[in-house]
């Protein structure tokens, strides 16, 4: 700049522009002059740099916004996954508990407290075991859909795991909750068609309406307790919680603990129900029946503790104890008496025991250590254990049969099996349930039916044992029909081991059955 010329302000503008750009104002632009000299060239370069920086910054902001949206979506997805059941898409236990807690908070403002339904499918394990887990999953998805359809708008349906569901009903009285439970039962009455299979779902439902001072966990426990009471009452039942149910549940827990201790304290013993040859009254075997002599409760019968043993898994210990005790008793009888070759001891085996991979080894070891021939032992299993048998169960049955142990189906006529199905299994004997012969003497139609059942069992190459014989007429009718053996109170109530030994030693016969002179065989 020469003396007399005006001061060039562009340098100050450049400095100010650089300061603004450095401060983050990327929209800053410095004006150029008409001179188009070196200073203008620097200004143009600064403007281009600011423009490029602004473009880069805008692109960066867009990327950050896009990534933020993606992260937020992923977070929402993770929250949905953490709060929902993967199979059915319904809420899970965590979501249900949060929902109950939120409903309880709302009720503090004067609203009604929430109610909860606990829903457990009856005998769902049979579906899984008989048709496979894929079919079971399809059934669960359809059950969830039906429950969702049956409840009200605003209610929350949750799958808690396995075949257990729950429904949260905000601001709902117990009466209204029981009404929803009835609609759920109605929704489950129609069969579910899966491929070529018809599945008929049933459920046990417990209900509880929250009370003042109860937490979300308290409400769940009470609804769950009511559900177990519904299960005990029979399939397809609804029950509302009553305080006495908690007491009953605590008693069951106490009894389970005492039963587990009782196994090791020699509180258990066996009685023996004679199995009789109908034509002669000769005792051809016994069924081992477990009893529990409780130090405070006195004699506890199986109906009171076997269901608890099955629920808690103690049935495995009980089953093995019964097998060993029965074989040891047979060994003592063999040592003291001359047992007939066809005398056999029957031992009940639970479905849970049948699923144990070491079952066959355990039976083989017990036979070896007691010195009992496998042919003297008959394993009794209920119909449901046969029908729901998977690979492990079938392996156990066939291996026991190959060992020489007899296999007998118990309570035939009360479950799902058929003769055609049993023919494919290693079954040697069928024990016909008492319900089939109850009216055999009074109802000619029932007598013909029993005759037909007996004929089918024989045609399938199996023997039949009729249980629950309580009268002379029943025994005589069965004898006329050609039935070989049976058991029941007509012949004898369960006996102690010493009483059985006395009968075996003296050769005494149990009530000798003679067919009435006017009896005729059924065709």
Q: How many helices (H) and strands (E) does the chain have?
A: 18, 16
Calculate ∠ Cα 358-359-364, nearest 5°: 100
pLDDT for residue 518 is more than 50: no
Q: Higher-confidence residue: 390 or 28?
A: 28
pLDDT for the residue numbered 521: 36
User: Could you tell me the CATH number of the domain that includes residue 415?
Assistant: 3.20.20.450
Q: Is residue 362 part of a domain?
A: yes
pLDDT for the residue numbered 369: 96
Q: Are residues 34 and 135 in the same domain?
A: no
pLDDT digits (tens, 9 = 90+) for 47-56: 888 788 888 8
Calculate ∠ Cα 44-45-51, nearest 5°: 90
Q: Are residues 340 and 486 in the same domain?
A: yes
pLDDT for residue 330 is more than 60: yes
251: confidence class by pLDDT, cuts 50, 70, 90:
confident
pLDDT for the residue numbered 110: 64
- What is the pLDDT averaged over residues 318-330? 95
- What is the pLDDT averaged over residues 131-158? 88
The structural domain count of the chain equals 3
Q: Are residues 64 and 111 in the same domain?
A: no
Q: Supply 355's token pair.
A: 């699923």
User: Could you tell me the CATH number of the domain that includes residue 223?
Assistant: 3.30.70.270
Q: Higher-confidence residue: 273 or 12?
A: 273
Q: Is residue 82 part of a domain?
A: no
- What is the pLDDT averaged over residues 321-347? 94
Q: Is residue 52 part of a domain?
A: yes
523: confidence class by pLDDT, cuts 50, 70, 90:
very low
Q: Are residues 221 and 98 in the same domain?
A: yes
65: confidence class by pLDDT, cuts 50, 70, 90:
confident
Whole-angstrom distance, CA of residue 241 vs CA of residue 79: 33
pLDDT digits (tens, 9 = 90+) for 364-422: 999 999 999 999 999 998 765 655 456 777 888 889 999 999 999 887 776 545 566 66
Q: Is residue 194 part of a domain?
A: yes
Percentage of the chain exceeding pLDDT 90: 41
Q: Are residues 300 and 231 in the same domain?
A: no
Give the number of other Cβ atoms within 10 Å of residue 494's Cβ: 18
pLDDT digits (tens, 9 = 90+) for 157-172: 999 888 899 999 999 9
CB 382 within 8 A of CB 415: yes
pLDDT for residue 108 is more than 70: yes
Q: Higher-confidence residue: 251 or 82?
A: 251
In the block, residue with structure tokens 């479950």: 415
Domain that holds residue 37: 10-69
520: confidence class by pLDDT, cuts 50, 70, 90:
very low
pLDDT for the residue numbered 384: 59
CB 450 within 8 A of CB 437: yes
Q: Is residue 150 part of a domain?
A: yes
pLDDT digits (tens, 9 = 90+) for 293-317: 988 888 988 888 888 888 778 888 8
Q: Supply 153's token pair.
A: 């708008």
Q: Are residues 225 and 271 in the same domain?
A: no
- Name 292's bridge partners: 268, 300
- Diameter of the chain measured on Cα atoms: 155
pLDDT for residue 468 is more than 90: yes
Of the candidates 436, 425, 500, which has an alpha carbon nearest to the alpha carbon of residue 474?
A: 436
pLDDT for residue 192 is more than 90: no
pLDDT for the residue numbered 513: 42
Q: Is residue 167 part of a domain?
A: yes
Q: Are residues 218 and 273 in the same domain?
A: no
Query: Where is the domain boundary, 241, 275, 301?
Result: 241
Q: Are residues 189 and 336 in the same domain?
A: no
Q: Is residue 141 part of a domain?
A: yes
Q: Is residue 514 part of a domain?
A: no
pLDDT for residue 17 is more than 80: no
pLDDT digits (tens, 9 = 90+) for 254-270: 888 888 888 878 889 99
CB 292 within 8 A of CB 305: yes
Q: Are residues 407 and 462 in the same domain?
A: yes
Q: Are residues 211 and 332 in the same domain?
A: no
Q: Are residues 364 and 487 in the same domain?
A: yes
Q: Are residues 222 and 364 in the same domain?
A: no
pLDDT for residue 342 is more than 80: yes
* Average pLDDT along the chain: 84
């Amino acid at each position: 700049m020469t003396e007399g010329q005006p001061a060039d302000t562009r340098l100050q503008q450049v400095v100010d522009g650089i300061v603004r750009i450095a401060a983050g104002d990327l929209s800053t632009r410095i004006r150029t002059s008409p001179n188009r000299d070196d200073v203008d060239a620097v200004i143009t370069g600064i403007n281009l740099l600011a423009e490029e920086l602004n473009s880069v910054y805008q692109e960066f902001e867009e990327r950050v916004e896009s990534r933020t949206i993606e992260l937020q979506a992923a977070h929402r997805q993770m929250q949905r996954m953490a709060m929902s059941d993967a199979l059915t898409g319904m809420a899970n236990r965590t979501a249900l508990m949060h929902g109950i807690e939120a409903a309880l908070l709302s009720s503090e403002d004067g609203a009604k407290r929430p109610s909860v339904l606990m829903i457990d499918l009856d005998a769902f394990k049979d579906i899984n075991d008989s048709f496979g887990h894929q079919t079971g999953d399809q059934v669960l998805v359809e059950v969830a859909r039906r429950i969702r359809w049956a409840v009200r708008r605003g209610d929350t349906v949750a799958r808690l795991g396995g075949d257990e569901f729950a429904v949260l009903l905000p601001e709902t009285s117990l009466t209204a909750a029981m009404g929803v439970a009835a609609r759920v039962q109605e929704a489950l009455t129609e069969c579910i068609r899966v491929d070529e299979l018809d599945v008929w779902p049933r459920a046990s439902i417990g209900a509880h309406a929250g009370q003042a001072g109860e937490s979300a966990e308290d409400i769940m426990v009470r609804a769950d307790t009511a559900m177990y009471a519904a299960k005990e009452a029979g399939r397809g039942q609804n029950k509302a919680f009553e305080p006495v149910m908690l007491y009953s549940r605590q008693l069951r827990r106490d009894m389970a603990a005492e039963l587990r201790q009782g196994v090791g304290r020699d509180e258990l013993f066996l009685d023996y129900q004679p199995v009789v040859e109908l034509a002669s009254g000769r005792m051809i075997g016994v069924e081992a029946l477990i009893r529990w002599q409780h130090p405070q409760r006195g004699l506890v019968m199986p109906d009171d503790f076997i269901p608890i043993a099955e629920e808690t898994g103690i049935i495995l210990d009980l089953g093995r104890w019964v097998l060993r005790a029965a074989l040891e008793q047979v060994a003592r009888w063999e040592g003291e008496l001359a047992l007939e070759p066809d005398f056999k001891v029957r031992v009940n085996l639970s479905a849970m025991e049948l699923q144990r991979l070491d079952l066959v080894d355990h039976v083989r070891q017990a036979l070896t250590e007691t010195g009992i021939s496998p042919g003297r032992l008959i394993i009794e299993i209920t119909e449901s254990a046969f029908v729901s048998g998977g690979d492990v169960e079938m392996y156990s049955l066939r291996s026991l049969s190959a060992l020489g142990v007899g296999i007998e189906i118990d309570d035939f006529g009360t479950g799902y099996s058929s003769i055609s199905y049993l023919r494919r299994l290693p079954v040697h004997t069928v024990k016909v349930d008492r319900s089939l012969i109850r009216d055999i003497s009074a109802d000619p139609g029932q007598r013909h039916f029993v005759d037909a059942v007996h004929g089918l069992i024989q045609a399938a190459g199996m023997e039949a044992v009729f249980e629950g014989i309580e009268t002379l007429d029943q025994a005589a009718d069965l004898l006329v029909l050609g039935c070989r053996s049976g058991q029941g109170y007509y012949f004898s109530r369960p006996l102690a081991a010493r009483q059985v030994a006395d009968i075996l030693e003296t050769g005494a016969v149990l009530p000798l059955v003679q067919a009435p002179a006017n009896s005729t065989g059924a065709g």
